[in-house]
Amino acid sequence: MIDRPRRLRQSPVMRAMVAETRVHPSQLILPVFVAEGATEPRPIASMPGVVQHTVDSVVEESRRAAEAGLGGVMLFGVPQHKDARGSGATDPGGILNVALGAVRDKVGDDVLVMADTCLDEFTDHGHCGVLDDRRRVDNDATLEIYAEMAVAQARAGAHVVGPSGMMDGQVGVIRTALDAAGFEDVVILAYAAKYASAFFGPFREAVQSSLQGDRRTYQQDPANIRESLREIDLDVAEGADMIMVKPAMSYLDVVAAAAERTTVPVAAYQVSGEYAMIEAAAAQGWIDRERTALEALVSIRRAGAQAILTYYALEAAGWLG
């Protein structure tokens, strides 16, 4: 007898029936940027098709996300004014908190309203935490601000807060603060394995980053995976409801290891550089844009991610039918 695996590939219907991995819109999260003072959406040159939104346009984008059946929208704020402490992050009148409230008022519980819980967009030095007198990121002083920021975001209407600064102990401090403020139901999506990656480049344009230096003292070394597993264990022990691997495509081994190791849901972020590379190659006619984008999303799901942050989320929902 000759084995003929090709029998199961002979038609679209057959391939669909035996497909081992599927992507559903409910597994996709759309990252969105909202800019203080913007009067109309502003294109982001390095991320074709992605914009800095106004409050009104981010509300409409979130409505479209809900109608498309997406799992969530992750909001990032772009303030007009920054300072060393990142004061706009905790200010109820700051752009991110205002946008969170407006989006929650519009979509209610039809889509998860998620908040980036980090200071890098709000600090004049561009780091994810406050600096000490030697210009080093002060881990414990930063934790106090993260706690305040997470409570402000929950109060504004966030279903999910996403601490992404890679500060030691951030999940435990945020969980304690949320519970003390009466937000026991707010979910923590912990960026447990976030690498100091070159793939973040276009994102820096998107949030008008003021970064001086780099983040290698607190984001992870791309050479390491056991370190990620340690970080995941620590975050889960501190109360993380979900964990994130970022970036996704060049770190699928980390996604797979995370999914095997932990019982909490694993998310992965198809970051700005990954998106930009697909867009640039497709614009040259070198690859098929839709097929490549969907193949990338399938690969992230196949590795074990239950949720994917992707700038293709709305389009992919349409492609997936």
**End-to-end CA separation in angstroms for the chain:** 39
CA distances from 206 to 31, 48, 55, 90, 239 (A): 11, 11, 16, 21, 31
Q: Are 295 and 285 in contact (CB under 8 A)?
A: no
> What's the chain's length in residues?
321
d(CA 137, CA 143): 11
Using CA atoms, how far apart are residues 25 and 36, in angstroms rounded to an integer? Answer: 29
Distance CA 318, CA 320 (A): 5
Virtual torsion, Cα 307, 311, 314, 318, nearest 10 deg? -90
Cα 19 from Cα 168, distance rounded (Å): 40
In angstroms, what CA-CA distances link 291 with 122, 215, 251, 297?
37, 34, 21, 10
Active site (catalytic) residues: 194, 246
Consecutive H or E run containing 192: strand 187-194
CA-closest candidate to residue 218, choices 208, 231, 207, 209: 231
Other CB atoms within a 10 A radius of the CB of residue 260 amount to: 10
Q: Which residues have a Cβ under 8 Å from the Cβ of 154 and sit 6 or more positions away?
A: 161, 178, 181, 183, 186
Residue 238 to residues 168, 241, 263: CA-CA distances in angstroms? Answer: 11, 10, 14
Choose among 121, 115, 112: nearest CA to 209: 121
